[in-house]
Structure 1
């Protein structure tokens, strides 16, 4: 499990938590196709995060680094 703002930093979309917070609060991030404005949203392996037209599967990203 990883928080949404941490995931955005992890995949390199943002370099700081503050940048991640702004993207999320400005409605630029979707989780499983639904707009998400909670930066602390806990993501699980089956979740998909979409930002800037790119979709990232949480489980695939996390398992690559384990």
Structure 2
């Protein structure tokens, strides 16, 4: 599992997917979510605007698992 650090209180899921290098654009993030390839805390998620907070775990098909952490970890 890879840690992805944020410096704000939360990050939206589509922004997270770009930050974690799962997709290069927001449009591709939307397509990935529509395909059912993303889970947040083990639950399928298709909302681009879903807020992610430190401690959330995101699983992305063909990209692995990521955990949101705060700061520069």
Class of the TM-score when normalised by the shorter of the 2 chains:
0.7 to 0.9
Corresponding position: 1:10 with 2:10: no
Residues 22-49 of structure 1: per-residue CA shift (max 9 Å, x gap): 1011100000000001010000001000
> What stretches of structure 1 of length at least 5 have no aligned partner?
none
Runs of 4+ in 1 over 2 A off after TM superposition: 62-65
Q: For residues 1-66 of structure 1, what are the structure 2 equivalents within 5 Å?
A: 1-52=10-61, 54-59=64-69, 63-64=71-72
Computed over aligned residues only, the root mean square deviation of the Cα atoms, in angstroms, reads 1.4
Point out where structure 2 has 5 or more consecutive residues left out of the alignment. Answer: 1-9
More strand by share: 2
Q: Distance in 2 between matches of 1:23 and 1:63?
A: 27
TM-score (norm 2): 0.79
Looking at secondary structure, tell me which structure has more helix per residue: 1
1:18, 1:24 → 2: CA distance?
10
Q: Which secondary structure does the structure 2 equivalent of 1:45 belong to?
A: coil
